Structure 1
Amino acid sequence: MTAVNRKLAAILSTDVVGFSRLTALDEETTVRELTLCHDQIAALVLEHGGRIFGSAGDGLVAEFPSAVQAVRCSVEMQRSLLSRSNDFPQDRRLEFRIGINLGDVIVSGDDLLGDGVNIAARLQEMAAPSGICISGSVREHLDGKVLFTLTSLGERVLKNIPKPVSVFRVDWPEENGEGNEAGSVRSFSARFGKDQPSIVVMPFDNLSGQSDEYFVDGVVEEITAALSRVRNFFVIARQSAFTYKGRFVDVRSVGRELGVTYVVEGTVRRGGDRLRISVQLVEAEMRTQLWSERYEGATQDIFEFQDRIAAQVAGAVHPAIRSAEIELAMRKPPSSLRAYDLVMRAYPYLWGQNKDAIKRAIPLLQDAIEIDPAYGRAHAFLAWCHAQNLGYIWTDEPEKDLECALRAIEVAAASIDDDPTALTATGGALSHCGDQEGASAYLERALALDPNNAWGWARYGWVASYRGQPDCARERFERAMTLSPADPLAFNMRMGLALSLALAGKLSEAISIAREVVNKHPEVTWPYRMMSAWSAMSGDEDTARWAAKKLLAAEPGFTIQRYMTRPVFRASPQWADQMAEGLRQAGLPEH
């Protein structure tokens, strides 16, 4: 029996999107352009140490001795082919898809055969127009060797391939640097190694009355929280997802804007004590529905439905995740649906960034606690409200708010060990109350349970700043912004980033961020406090006095003495003295 000759090779497969349509429109021009593109591809393959061994119509197949060479070549191909296509109208452009696999192949003369080749062809079919998909076997050889972002598309069952294949999408910056600017979703994702399935849960459509809007938002909140706790996932925070609420958006646009591969959409209808939830999971780039399900039952089944939806979405995206793993994402529900309902009503006010919103949240949380005194999340949010009054100087009775916050924290602590949201609220509250060490303990616990917790990373960043650790703070804020790139409260993260820069002596950069924040958010006045002090500290007297004037117009009762009583200054007395002197130089009143 003749031995079969085999070898390991990186296989690259290409084809043209909609080639039949293009030839029907203009056969001669299309075929001529295809020939020129194939010549260009052949030259790049040769340049990167590969060889073309097969062709079929508009497609080519090449082999490379190295996975790294194959991926680098694929990116150069797409760059050069995209450049060529700019000379053609949008509907006449030749857009190529590329798939790459590293596998064992059969050598038959100059040809290569087997699953190693077939998988590359299947991956090419999955790629978006002008896109590149690679297998997990290729991905394993790329660490530290390429500068491209590799985003997991999860495990996929490919036609005529017996086992599921891990699939990754290759993204790359343009040669002129566009698309990879500092602060972009892609650049942050690359920095933090977003090498796992990425997902966003969009606001669900409310098919009930307007009065149920808060309830529908709560469903999305809990599903997002459950998915967020699955370590294999990169989950966009609800704050960013909810910027799309109330408007029609294309899932492909959402995927590109938020840097995610998968989008969860759904509807909720509640009538009396009956509930119906419909959910679908969509692959964003190709707009392909991967899974859908409908849940019907009594309203009190809401917690079970939320957990089941999270488990089934996770399983559809990443089959390797077992139901036992998703159970880690299921926190113990409150004993009373009515108490849960009240907390969901309070939710929008918790992030209002003004004292009037806090005034509206507190009685709702107190009512929830009266119904369910052991409801840890309600106590944690109540602590957060009183602590915000303290930290932002929204209270005329700071001692009373401090006492209320600490009492709520003490009660919450007994029942929030498995609730990252409540742990974050408690940690944030302790930070405002001046206990940065205690705050760190709660926030570290929250982030251990939920590494995708954007709010947790942001509060952890503020803690690092208050402790005089600017480098650590900056990294935490950047991670928070990665997880919630469209967050309405991004200005809070930006101001945290500005504080870390100011602490590091980069005052001009800090002032620039503060100016950007006050220009975009004129209703948020507390950044003027920091801006006036930093400007004075940097010697920019004009900006310092301008910011001080704006501050006094918005907060006529502001005094340096009152500002310096903020508990957060306890951890950094030297910085507190510098801030106080800066405020004096800006012309703000002492008493």
Structure 2
Amino acid sequence: MAWATRAVLLVDVVESVRLIEQDEVGAISRWLALVEDVRADILPSHNGRLVKSLGDGMLLDFSEVRSAVSAALAIQDASERRNASLPAEQKIMLRMGLEVSDVIVEANDVLGRGVNLAARLMSLAGPGEIVISQHVRDGLTPSLDADVEDLGDCFVRHLTQPIRAYRIGPPGRHPMIRQGALLDELAPSIAVIPLASRNIAHDHGVLGEVLAEEIIRGLSHSSSLNLVSRLSTTAFRGRDVPMGEVGVRLNADYVLSGAYGNGDKRLKLDVNLSETKSGRILWAESLEDDAFAILSGEQELIGRLITAVNAAVTTRELQRTRSQPLPTLKAYTLLMSAVSLMYRLSLPDFEEARRLLQELVDRGIRHPIPLAWLANWHVLRVQQGWSQDARQDTYLALEATKRALDIDPDCSLALAINGFANVNLLKKFDVAYESYESALEINPSNSLAWLLKGTLHAFRSEGQQAVDHTERALKLSPLDPHRWFYDSLATTACLANQQYERGFELAQRSLRANRKHTSSWRVMTIAQWQLGRFDDARKSVQELMKLQPTLTVSGWLRSSPAADYPIGRAAAEVLRQAGVPE
């Protein structure tokens, strides 16, 4: 058993399972050709060794750091040249991790902590990226050996302490790192085909174009869907084209199509949502409303349609997570399913949401959205009373928002959730307020930022501002699938402004949609008590204690951002009188 200081480079094929599922022979052939390039052309000139090929990866070692870095950049360049003529779905994208340390060197293997750390560093790399350790960074001359970007302290699986990591690219090429994953990697695309007219002689299908435009406008408010332009979808109006071809030509995962008929001042829509890959109809319905109401901008029918489409797409993506191995799932499937499961607030679903988000992060997709939702998960975990270590969850929430904002400082969602974490977990009102202000400056229509900012005002007993902001959030998100969460936080604003009847209505609506949110039961208890419904308030506390049996008034005061303000003291007294133990 011989020990030696070696630079260990791990190379991994991103989404190898998907590539092989799509084209087994082609993917394997292209990979083996690249491995041969590395073995025959790159390693000899860099004093490197192919320790072993891992099926969808390589383990390489080198005598010193600069040779290893130069070889890694050469491998990346060779991969890019081979990918140049291939369509996006066939490209082999590599990610690499590099560490230098004392390892056990054998004829066909390299063993030791250095190999494990190289694997952990590789997990931080996105497609086409190379991540190195502090030890490797110390052996480089930036701008001469490589362009170096500091990633800061990063948490990785199976290590209790963070590791300092750096991302590298060829020297002198800027920008070194591509921006985060394209948005369409994190949201499925849907094409709305203008509805066909059953009265074509009368309106020539013009109304179908108008309806399609209204549906597209409504669906575009959802951050979980990408919409194909109506100018592109119009080409398929009235054509009998297989769904698979529509999907390929429009790059769409789903298609909404159908027909309409009008008469006697009524408009009837027959619509269906299809999955382009399988051709399956996922949802179909007949809707009817007053024609003038629709054309004059009233949104009830369109709103019902949009809600149904969102629900059908989310259900389909959830089905995939339960029927297919995680490595085969698209990024948007993981993200949509994780957010949906997170807000169910059932503990098994909540834990599954964490697993899906972690899978997405582990793929190395450099986009702030998954990290922002991961931070949100940690905040909700503490709020629900499920955290075994609130201090650790607080740290992980803030670390996730930091990483998200390192990727994109102008990510409105990450800024909003950063504020959420700071005010709810650390009671840092000033930091949270600045985060909310920045989020809204970037996106004035960010309903979550308005909601959370309103809640901050509520915690400080600034009732009117709280109500103004949360009501604005409700108007901006009339069809949000997690509307109950908005209603719950808007209740807090009403309590701060002593609008107890309105607060009761909102809490009631929130609990009808989701009875597992502990905060909803707390604000319901307070609203009922302030309205003189003492017995109902005591019953609400019983439901609250079932969900959070360890809850105490003193414990709530220690954790609540409102504890030092009039609303917090009043809430504590109500909870005490309604039956929460001291």
TM above 0.5, yes or no, is no
Q: TM-score, normalised by structure 2?
A: 0.43
TM normalised by structure 1 equals: 0.43
